[in-house]
Amino acid sequence: MAARVDRLVLYNTRTRHKQAFEALEPGHVRMYSCGPTVYSAQHIGNLRPYLFADLLRRVLEAEGYRVTHVINVTDVGHLTDDADAGEDKMEVAARRSGRRAEEIAEQYTRQWMEDCRRVGCLEPHVTCRATDHIAEQVALARRLEERGYTYRIEDGVYFDTSKFPRYAEFARLDLSSQAAGVRIGDVPGKRHPADFALWKFPSPGVRRQQEWDSPWGRGFPGWHLECSAMSSEHLGKTFDIHTGGVDHIAVHHTNEIAQSECAWDVHPWVNVWMHEEFLDFRGGKMSKSKGDLYVLEDLVEQGIEPLAYRYFFLQAHYRQQQTFTDAAIEAAATGYDRLVGQAAELREAPGDPEASRLASFRERFRAAMRDDLNAPRALAVAWDVVRSRELVPAERWALLAEFDAVLGLDLARALPRKQVRESDPRIDAMVARREEARRQRDFAEADRIRDALAAEGVAVEDSEDGPRWRRR
Ligand code: AMP
Ligand code: ZN
């Protein structure tokens, strides 16, 4: 039996426990999410972190909090190798395409924002780019230097992890076994494999597109620095929630914590750390870095609309790996279509909801989301509402509309999905001819066309925006 959940409980990676959530500042939640590296398109797995962060934000808002959500865009400094060797992903993309790094960043930032919008994510309150915050990053690295946390080698200015005794704590790292590793050889002069770059100098003889002056000479910021610098800029020196993919725990987030706690003398820097698991793509981890890209538009071309992908995301808990297969996404698309169709019918039903009859379903939905965002269970409650015989249709719609503020599935859309999605030039032309016949008041012809369409299983409905059709 699940315990009764009367408060929002979240799994905190920092403590490895589910904990009742309390905002640091009453009524206001400040949260930061690691965003995309914009050197190429985001595959559908890369969208999972933003779907998760958006769900979290919506649940917090449903709990009555005002939320300030910040997402960063990494447009410099993320190397192909997390151990500070390798090349900057942006520079590689620029060289391969013969284009300017800024132009590439702009293109993929826009595309990422558009994809997020299409899968129903609310726009973050702040979207900040690393290249717009170079001065803040330099200032942060300077502060760490002044406090004795850094050393300088030929390759750049490094954070000395031996000066931060808590370094291994967050990710439960075994630094002694790391020290025995071979990776230290990748960067000559690095004292420990875990030490990481705050500021990098371009390799000898290499002229980078993206480099800036600094107290240490021309160069560019290390990848981890931007998140510490921009979060403090936009959210303050401590804040409530930091999100990201599980892959960030051991290196990126561990390093963000080292920088921020040492710069600001705070602990814990962030109260609650939340990490979502990966989308497992046909048996193997699909990584953007490995060049195997399956993007949102590929789904759309397959006839799966973006919000069906959100529905698919909601079918698994964020801390579970979710396997992506054609069968699974098709099933999600069918489920989503049905839910939208049911919602459209319920919405038209006459009558007024009686508030007292909504409470038990509302409580169940809320309890599911309060239990560390159990979206699959919440979705099941939405379906129980659709099928409920104890509620009249108007009551069912009232609940669905309320749940949708958290689910983000646009259940109040004008028409069931299939009517919006389908496009077939021949049928479009028949529908247009029927419309023309109606305008000419040739109702016999209009009816003849409608019957011909019906014989093919196509239903036409007249809406305010003109006729729409769908296959039955
Ligand atoms: P990349 O550009 O490959 O480093 O990916 C950017 C971020 O997207 C990663 O750091 C992960 O947090 C996230 N990510 C990558 N692949 C997946 C996946 N298959 N499922 C969920 N998240 C992913
Ligand atoms: Zn980050």
DSSP assignment letter at 24: S
Model confidence at 467: pLDDT above 80? no
The percentage of residues in the chain with a pLDDT greater than 90, rounded to a whole number, is 67
| Across 280-309, average pLDDT | 78
Model confidence at 342: pLDDT above 70? yes
**Residue 411 Ramachandran class (φ > 0 left, ψ -120 to 50 alpha, else beta):** alpha
| Across 189-218, average pLDDT | 91
Give the H or E element holding residue 417.
helix 417-421
- In this prediction, residue 331 has a pLDDT band, given cuts at 50, 70 and 90, of very high
Residue type (1 letter), 264: W
Model confidence at 179: pLDDT above 60? no
The percentage of residues in the chain with a pLDDT greater than 70, rounded to a whole number, is 91
Q: Measured between alpha carbons, how far is 469 from 454 in angstroms, rounded to an integer?
A: 10
What's residue 86's pLDDT? 80
Query: What single string gives the DSSP state of each residue in 333-400?
Result: HHHHHHHHHHHHHHHH--S---GGGTHHHHHHHHHHHHBT--HHHHHHHHHHHHH-SSS-HHHHHHHH
Hey, whose CA ends up nearest to atom 21 of ligand 1?
278
- In this prediction, residue 233 has a pLDDT band, given cuts at 50, 70 and 90, of very high
| Across 15-28, average pLDDT | 98
Q: Measured between alpha carbons, how far is 255 from 84 in angstroms, rounded to an integer?
A: 12
| Across 331-359, average pLDDT | 92
What residue spans in the chain does CATH classification 3.40.50.620 cover? 9-281
Nearest ligand for residue 247 CA: 1
What residue spans in the chain does CATH classification 1.20.120.640 cover? 326-407
**Contact (Cβ atoms closer than 8 angstroms) between residue 220 and residue 211:** yes
Any alpha helices (H) in 7-88, and if so which ranges?
A: 48-62
What's residue 1's pLDDT? 46
Q: Measured between alpha carbons, how far is 229 from 233 in angstroms, rounded to an integer?
A: 6
Model confidence at 409: pLDDT above 60? yes
Q: Measured between alpha carbons, how far is 31 from 41 in angstroms, rounded to an integer?
A: 25
- In this prediction, residue 290 has a pLDDT band, given cuts at 50, 70 and 90, of low
Hey, whose CA ends up nearest to atom 14 of ligand 1?
46
Residue 247 — φ and ψ, nearest 5°? -65, -15
Instruction: Determine the topology of domain 9-281 in CATH.
Output: Rossmann fold (3.40.50)
Q: What is the mean pLDDT of the chain?
A: 90
Closest atom of ligand 1 relative to the 89 alpha carbon? 2
- Reported as a single tens digit per residue, the pLDDT across 422-436 is 568 888 889 889 988
CATH, domain range 326-407: 1.20.120.640
Joined together, the tokens standing for residue 307 give 């919000």
Q: What's this model's pTM, rounded to 2 decimal places?
A: 0.86
- In this prediction, residue 148 has a pLDDT band, given cuts at 50, 70 and 90, of very high
- In this prediction, residue 135 has a pLDDT band, given cuts at 50, 70 and 90, of very high
Model confidence at 199: pLDDT above 50? yes
What's residue 283's pLDDT? 58
Quickly tell me which residue has 């099933």 as its tokens. 331
- Reported as a single tens digit per residue, the pLDDT across 436-450 is 888 888 888 988 998
What's residue 302's pLDDT? 85
- In this prediction, residue 414 has a pLDDT band, given cuts at 50, 70 and 90, of low
Nearest ligand for residue 34 CA: 2
- In this prediction, residue 183 has a pLDDT band, given cuts at 50, 70 and 90, of low
Return the SS3 of 11: strand
Joined together, the tokens standing for residue 273 give 């750390």
Residue type (1 letter), 465: D
Give the distance (Å) from ligand 1 centre to CA of residue 278: 7
Model confidence at 168: pLDDT above 80? yes
Model confidence at 213: pLDDT above 50? yes
Model confidence at 418: pLDDT above 70? no
Verify whether ligand 1 is closer than 6 Å to residue 289 (CB atom). yes
Give the distance (Å) from ligand 2 centre to CA of residue 463: 46
Verify whether ligand 1 is closer than 6 Å to residue 245 (CB atom). yes
